[in-house]
Amino acid sequence: MSGVSLTGISVGLLLIITEQTCSSAAAVRAPRSACVNESELTERSEAFLRRRWHHVHLLPGHLAPRASSTCEQTAARAAGDKSDRSVSPWRYSINRDMTRIPHDIAFAECLCNGCIINQHEDMRYNSVPVTVQMMVLKKIDCHKSKYMLQRDFIKVPVACTCVVPKSTK
């Protein structure tokens, strides 16, 4: 036997996978060099939204309108949507960036600092946002009403969850 260990093979595979992931991530982030006019920008934007965002329910049209409520009001009610019944309830607000496609994305905001236990906020726990990395396009001015679209990734808070606080050792 040549003395190749399972650990050696695992490390080798990890290096290969890491290299492929990094090179594909770099390829995705590479900006397009061509500047386009307003109509071509619109076409590319709409195609991007159809391909990447058609299934995402974080666009304003997908969200049911809700009355604003506080942590205490949500704890007392504890009915309705998942975001109201959670021990870490949240609401959505619209994050608008006119240089980003899509322009409007719903961001989750935790209603409580603590978590709802037995219909009361318990400060021994923390409500924290759950984030997802999502691809967006950034609109960059070139010259004379021409634009370039660059892929970018942003962290979008989609919900909240209850966690035990970090210990301060």
Ordered DSSP codes for 11-51 = HHHHHHHHHHHHHHHHHHHPPP---B-HHHHHHHHHHHHHH
18 & 55 share domain = no
Give the count of beta carbons closer than 10 Å to the beta carbon of residue 72. 14
Type and span of the H or E element at 156: strand 147-163
Backbone angles phi, psi at 60, to 5 degrees: -50, -35
Residue 167 DSSP one-character state: P
The residues facing 139 across adjacent strands are 149
Quick check: 131 and 158 in contact, CB under 8 A? Answer: yes
115 & 133 share domain = yes
Q: How many domains does the chain have?
A: 2
154 & 117 share domain = yes
Answer whether residue 169 is part of any domain.
Answer: no
Answer whether residue 168 is part of any domain.
Answer: no
Q: What pTM was estimated for this model as a whole?
A: 0.69
108 & 149 share domain = yes
The alpha helices in the chain, defined as continuous H runs, are: 6-29, 38-52, 71-77, 82-85
Residue 123 has which token pair?
């400060």
Q: How far apart are CA 76 and CA 148, in angstroms?
A: 50
Check residue 144 and give its pLDDT.
83
26 & 87 share domain = no
66 & 19 share domain = no
Answer whether residue 81 is part of any domain.
Answer: yes
18 & 94 share domain = no
For residue 160, give the nearest of 74, 90, 72, 57 by alpha carbon.
90
Give me the chain's average pLDDT, please.
77
Report the CATH number at residue 70.
2.10.90.10
Q: How far apart are CA 136 and CA 113, in angstroms?
A: 30
pLDDT 10s digit of each residue in the chain, 169 long?
A: 444 333 333 333 333 333 333 433 433 443 445 889 888 988 988 888 888 877 666 555 555 555 657 888 887 777 777 777 889 999 888 899 999 999 989 899 999 999 999 989 999 999 999 999 999 999 999 888 899 999 999 999 999 999 999 876 5
13 & 42 share domain = no
84 & 138 share domain = yes
13 & 37 share domain = no
- Full domain range(s) for residue 9: 1-30
42 & 108 share domain = yes
20 & 58 share domain = no
